[in-house]
Amino acid sequence: MKEREFWQLLEEVLGRSYGRSVAQDQVLPSFGGMTVVEALADGVEPRVVWNVLCDELQIPDSQRWGKDHNAPPLPAK
């Protein structure tokens, strides 16, 4: 997942205003208390940030990938 795709999905699933607010304000304990914006700026893979955010907000798997319901592939290690 590219960062551009992350932002598109965030807006689709959470709405533009709420999604952007959450990205700036939601503290993610899994990333040492960074926000979504900070984690992305720190180089954390957007797909990982997305999954952690969805877990924190308790967004079910059936809704977290938007209308397509297809999870992007995991990044190669």
Give me the numbers of helices (H) and strands (E) for the chain, helices first please: 5, 2
Q: CB–CB of 10/24 below 8 Å?
A: no
Q: What are phi and psi of 69, to 5 degrees?
A: 55, 30
The reported pLDDT for the residue numbered 47 is 93
The reported pLDDT for the residue numbered 27 is 94
What b/e string do you get for 63-77 counting C-beta neighbours within 10 Å, with b at 16 or more?
A: ebbeeeeeeeeeeee
pLDDT tens figures, 8-67: 999 999 999 999 999 999 999 999 999 999 999 999 999 999 999 999 999 988 888 887
pLDDT tens figures, 54-75: 999 999 888 888 876 566 555 5
Model's pTM, two decimal places? Answer: 0.83
